Copies of this chain bind each other. A is one copy, B any other.
Amino acid sequence: MSSFSRRSLLKAFAIGGATAAVSPLARFASAQAMERAMPTGKLASNFHIHNDMPWALEARRSALGLAPITPQSAFFVRNNLPTPDESIIANRDAWSIEVAGVANTGRITLAELKTLPVRMEAAVLQCSGNGRAYFPHEPSGSQWATGAAGCAIWTGVRVSDVIEHFGGAAADELAFLTATGSEELPDGVDPSQVVVERSVPKAKGLQDCMLVWEMNGAPLPLVHGGPVRMLVPGYFGVNNVKWVKRIALTEEESGASIQVSSYRFRDIGESGRPEHPSMYRMPVKSWLNGPGADDMPVLKGQATLYGVAFSGERGIDKVEVSVDEGQNWQEAELIGPDLGPNAWRSFILPMELSAGRHRFVSRATDISGDTQSRDAIPNHRGYGHNGWYDHGLEINVVDQLPASMTANATAAGSTPTPAAAAGTAASSSSSLSAEATAGRDIFLTQVQPGCGVCHTLADAGTAGAIGPNLDTLKPSVDQVMRAVRQGVGAMPAFGAQLSETEMRALSVYVAEATSG
């Protein structure tokens, strides 16, 4: 936020305080909005920030690497409502979820979920609106290009095991699995207009859905729905409800706007209605991420094009790349571990590049035989774009890279640098024992090279940075004795240079001088 708008906001608050009721929470939320740091673990340079409240962070094309997983630092965020307070992850295991539509309704904590059979699934999350920016009718909403998608390994339990834990479905006619998020809802708005509550068909729910608490081996980050979110592998992001507070088998779909009218695939100009298809399974899709994304110049000559491909529930059979807008196609190579049918695959294609601007497109085929079409199906909200044409990567190939990109990094090892000089400080700590004082002299002068060449020790005035910092390590007499006698790691043995008495004095000195 510019300092201008910050000033305006502060001014507005001053006015508001006099003439309108501004709740303490609103002030707090707004103060947050003014000084918002990125969510924990996110690297700002990896993202286009479409919005900061609620968060809408799109991964830059150049920020997606080659691995079939996306690290937290570059994983997109699209929240429908503001992120709940950090306090909800203070005690993750105590997080409690209501379970309804089962024989024995009740609640289950995360600690209890963890006692059910643990499962892992690698799955792509992708916002329904990913690719919206490419629709010519300019649908409203965040103008996502490629980066509202990421792939992670999720750890949790199957919803079917949770349902079983509560005695199974309450009745056969319950046709949906409905999950409710615990976002704060504002006063003054019909809750059904804003609540994040989504239903998926029961068959999908019991076959694949999971309640997950880990993402790529770390506790599920707050901004991604921690402590616990729903994972609907292969389905668009909106179904993967965050901060789940309730799951239920229900007879009908949720009546929430997000289910009934939003996230419905319909013609341009039409309002969403339940008879329109809901944004469920993700179709086959691919795009190139490099080289040369985000206007980074690429040197002419040999290059390796790379990108990702996925298809909800189906996995990828092959990816082709075209350099001539689809007249001819070359098959790319799928590389790296295959993490399963809901994950994305990385692909590469070596290519000789001439100078000039080039545009490359990719086209994936999934294991069911579905291939990306050239164009997306136009639809009111700009959902589900998977046309290969619009996702092309345009790059600038140059005869010579700018100097700023070829400057050699200073080779750290090429300039021998005195890391430290052995101190010869005349005065010694007054509190040392006689033995330690003798040891101090050994530390500084009686061994070659002096201990201070490699070790930092405040009392000796040395600042060597090769071996452990002794002030931090605070070794015992025995530890120093062993290291001096035998060597340790890169440290040579000094047993041949020093007598037992000298080694002992040296060790007593290091222990005494660092025991404070």
Query: A29 is contacted by which of B8, B65, B419 (Cβ under 8 Å)?
Result: B419
Bound CA span A426–B16, Å: 9
Whether A71 touches B409, Cβ cut-off 8 Å, given contacts A53-B469, A189-B449, A465-B33, is no
Considering only residues 449-475 of chain A, those with a C-beta below 8 Å from chain B are 449-450, 453-454, 456, 458-466, 468-469, 471-473
Which listed segment binds B: A323-331, A334-342, A365-373, A392-400? A334-342
A136 part of interface (Cβ distance < 8 Å): no
Given A187-B419, A458-B5: A95 touches B409 (CB 8 Å cut-off): yes
Contact of A115 among B301, B335, B478 (CB under 8 A): B301
Instruction: Give Cα A194–Cα B82 distance, bound, in whole angstroms.
Output: 52
Q: Which 7 A-B pairs have the closest CB atoms?
A: A120-B336, A12-B461, A67-B217, A182-B413, A30-B463, A84-B412, A9-B458
Range of interface residues on chain A?
Answer: 35 or more
**A41 to B42 Cα, complex, angstroms:** 9
Min CB distance A318 to B, Å, is 18
Judged by a CB distance under 8 angstroms, whether A501 is at the interface is: no
Q: Which of B87, B194, B335, B453 contacts A119 (CB 8 A)?
A: B335
* Residue from the set A187, A299, A471 with the largest chain B CB neighbour count within 10 Å: A471
Question: Is A111 interfacial (CB-CB < 8 Å)?
Answer: yes
**Interface 9-residue window, one of A171-179, A309-317, A487-495:** A487-495
Decide: A413 and B181 in contact? CB cutoff 8 A.
yes
CB distance from A143 to the nearest CB of B (A): 9
Residues A20 and B69 in contact, CB atoms below 8 Å apart = no
Contact A492 B193 (CB under 8 A): yes
Which residue of chain B has its CB nearest to the CB of A191? B416
In Å, the complex CA distance between A190 and B273 comes to 77
**Are A155 and B65 in touch, CB under 8 angstroms?**
yes
CB contact list, A403-434 vs B, under 8 A = 404-427, 429
Q: Name the residue of chain B whose CB is nearest to the CB of A87.
A: B410
Max chain B C-beta neighbours (<10 A), residue from A181, A216, A514: A216
Whether A93 is near chain B, meaning CB under 8 Å from some CB there, is yes
A52 contacts across to B, CB distance below 8 A: 469, 472
Closest Cβ–Cβ distance, residue A405 to chain B (whole Å): 7
For the complex, give the distance between the alpha carbons of A461 and B14 in Å. Answer: 9
Is A411 touching B91 in the complex (CB atoms < 8 A)?
no
Please tell me which one of the listed residues B94, B189, B462, B464 contacts residue A409 in the complex, with CB atoms under 8 A apart.
B94
Cα distance, A336 to B216, chains bound together (Å):
11
Give the number of copies in the complex.
Answer: 2
CB of A85 within 8 A of CB of B490, answer no
CB distance from A356 to the nearest CB of B (A): 18
Contact bitstring A236-254, B, C-beta under 8 A = 1, else 0: 0000000101000000000
Report whether A425 and B111 are in contact in the complex, using a CB–CB cutoff of 8 Å.
no
Q: Is the CB of B12 within 8 A of A420?
A: no
Highest count of chain B CB atoms <10 Å: which of A336, A408, A493: A336
A80 within 8 A of B: yes
Closest B residue to A143 by CB, please name it: B479
A118 an interface residue at 8 Å Cβ cutoff? yes
The verdict on A234 contacting chain B, using a C-beta distance below 8 Å, is: no
* Those of A182-237 within 8 Å (CB) of chain B: 182-189, 193-194, 214, 216-219, 227
A468 contacts B56, CB within 8 Å?
yes
Pick from B111, B186, B381: contact of A420, CB under 8 Å: B186
- Note all chain B residues with C-beta closer than 8 A to A422: 20, 188
CB interface residues, A 1-48, toward B, < 8 Å: 1-2, 4-6, 8-9, 12-13, 15-16, 19-23, 25-27, 29-30, 33, 41
How long is the Cα–Cα vector from A15 to B16 in the complex, in angstroms? Answer: 60
Given contacts A5-B514, A71-B72, A119-B335, 17 further A-B contacts (CB under 8 A): A1-B471, A6-B458, A9-B463, A12-B425, A12-B462, A15-B423, A20-B422, A27-B463, A29-B419, A68-B120, A73-B218, A91-B407, A94-B407, A140-B479, A155-B336, A186-B465, A187-B453
A141/B15 in contact, CB under 8 A: no
CA distance A29 to B454 in the complex (A): 12
A118 near B19 with CB under 8 A, answer no
Answer yes or no: A291 CB below 8 A from chain B CBs.
yes
Query: Contact partner of A257 among B2, B420, B458, B490, CB < 8 A?
Result: B490
Q: Which residues of B contact A80 (CB under 8 A)?
A: 489-490
Q: Compute how far the CA of A184 lies from the CA of B413 in the bound complex, rounded to whole angstroms.
A: 5
- CB atoms of A153 and B187 under 8 A apart: no
Give the chain B neighbours of A339 by CB distance below 8 A: 337
Closest to A268 in B: B486
Given A117-B348, A412-B88, check contact A461 B20 (CB 8 Å).
yes
Known: A115-B302, A120-B67, A155-B65. A427 touches B15 (CB 8 A): yes
Contact mask for chain A residues 131-172; partner B; CB cutoff 8 A; 1 contact, 0 none? 000000011110000000000010100000000000000000
A-B contacts, 19 listed (Cβ < 8 Å): A5-B458, A5-B514, A9-B458, A16-B423, A20-B461, A25-B417, A26-B418, A26-B421, A29-B420, A41-B41, A80-B490, A88-B412, A115-B303, A120-B346, A141-B488, A184-B415, A185-B419, A186-B420, A243-B413
